Amino acid sequence: MPNEPEPRVDVNLEVRVFGMDAQGRPFSQKVRATNISHHGAKIAGLEKQLKPGDVVGVQFGEQKTRCKVIWVVDAGPVQKSDAGLKMVEGQPCPWLKEMETPQAPPPTPRAAPSAEDKRRFPRQKVPLPIEIRDEGGTPMKTKTADINGSGCYVETMLPLPIGRQLIVTFWLESQQVSTPAVVRTCDGGVGMGIEFISLDPATQDRLQQQVEAMAADSEPSRKVPGMS
Q: Read off the pLDDT of residues 60-88 as tens digits, 9 standing for 90 and up.
A: 999 999 999 998 887 655 568 889 999 99
Quote the radius of gyration of the chain (alpha carbons, Å). 19
* pTM of the entire predicted model: 0.65
In the chain, the domains with their CATH numbers are 9-100 (2.40.10.220), 119-223 (2.40.10.220)
Q: Read off the pLDDT of residues 130-185 as tens digits, 9 standing for 90 and up.
A: 999 987 777 889 999 999 999 999 998 888 899 999 999 999 988 999 999 999 99
Q: Which residues pair with 44 in a beta bridge?
A: 32, 82
Q: What is the DSSP letter of 125?
A: -
Closest CA to 36 of 80, 97, 89, 81: 97
Q: Which residues pair with 195 in a beta bridge?
A: 151, 182
Residue 103 pLDDT > 80: no
Distance between CA atoms of 47 and 13, rounded to whole angstroms?
17
